[in-house]
Amino acid sequence: MSSEKQPRTVQKALLYTLRALRLRCPTCGERPMFLPWEKVRTLGDWFAPLDGCPRCGYAYDREPGYFLMAIWGVNYGVIGLGSMTAYFFLRSWTSIPYTALLLLCVLPAPLLSILFARHAKSLFLALDHFFDPHIRDKKKQKENRLVLSIFPREGVNRHACLKERFRNY
């Protein structure tokens, strides 16, 4: 089915946004995009999405640097705007001293940025999928699911194999 036959609707945008907030695949909504927090051992595990959805074959990380806009635009934008909004709101409505107010709004930002990074990537992927759905035919989706199920997350050659599979999409 081509992307022209699937209109962009508000319901579809809300569906993709809800899937992104739940950190699920934007296409099927069934599988998670990241390792569960109980299995995270390093910051790399926290930040890196899985290679793709094993159910539908949708590739999360399409190319090197794909999530740079998610990090700079979405993550820093939300955290920066949230901090500035909190600062101006508290400055207008409370009598907290300037230094304490600045520390209260600036110090949590790096930690909040780390905690929000997964959601920023997920929201960026949902937004990208909404505007550029990358629809694939069923035969190639079946091949991609097979590759995703064969190579584990720690596999040495998984990136090369997945890039080869998803290169033509």
44 Cβ contact partners less than 8 Å away, ≥ 6 residues apart = none
Q: What is the pLDDT of residue 70?
A: 81
Residue with the larger pLDDT of the pair 11 and 6: 11
**pLDDT over threshold 70, residue 4:** no
Contact 39, 24 (CB under 8 A): no
121, exposed or middle or buried, with CB in 10 Å at 0-12, 13-18, 19+?
buried
Return the bridge partners of 32, or none: 24
Percentage of the chain lying above the pLDDT 70 cut: 75
Give the Å distances, CA to CA, from 123 to 14, 52, 75, 169: 11, 16, 10, 21
pTM: 0.70
Are 43 and 11 within 8 A, CB to CB? no
Tell me what percent of the residues of the chain surpass a pLDDT of 90: 36
66 within 8 A of 132, measured Cβ to Cβ: no
pLDDT, mean of residues 118-143 = 77
Kindly report which listed range (16-30, 68-82, 142-156) carries the lowest average pLDDT score: 142-156
Let me know: does 122 contact 78? Beta carbons within 8 Å.
Answer: no
**Boundaries of every domain in the chain:** 3-166
d(CA 136, CA 149): 18
pLDDT band at 135 (very low <50, low <70, confident <90, very high): low
**CA dist., res. 124 & res. 15, Å (int):** 14
Residue 52's pLDDT is: 86
Residue 57 pLDDT greater than 70, yes or no? yes
Residues 9, 59, 61, 19, Cα dihedral to 10°: 40
Per-residue confidence (pLDDT) for residue 111, from 0 to 100: 93
155: pLDDT strictly greater than 60: no
Give the model's confidence band at 69: pLDDT under 50 very low, under 70 low, under 90 confident, else very high: confident
For residues 4 and 34, the model is more confident at 34
